[in-house]
Amino acid sequence: MFAINFNPALIKKQKLLKMNMILICISLQFVLFTPFYLVWRNDCKEIGKEKLAVSLTERFISWVLFCPIWIIPFIR
């Protein structure tokens, strides 16, 4: 009825493509965070790090949760 082809070379290529996609999405997540980092750094210079309401860690975590680019390869 249905023929399932388990080609090891094809499976290896698919895994490699999936890993590349994961790395690209994670890199894109960091690169697109750069403007938020630059704003935070500017605020640190103007206001002072101790007086900021939100730390860089909190900004990054909210960025990762509200704009989850890294999850794209897992839902494809």
73 vs 30, which has greater pLDDT? Answer: 30
Spatial contact of 16 and 71, defined as CB atoms under 8 Å apart? no
Across the range 24-29, mean pLDDT stands at: 94
What's the token pair of residue 4?
């399932």
pLDDT of residue 1: 57
Instruction: Determine the residue type at 52.
Output: L
Where do the domains of the chain lie? 8-75
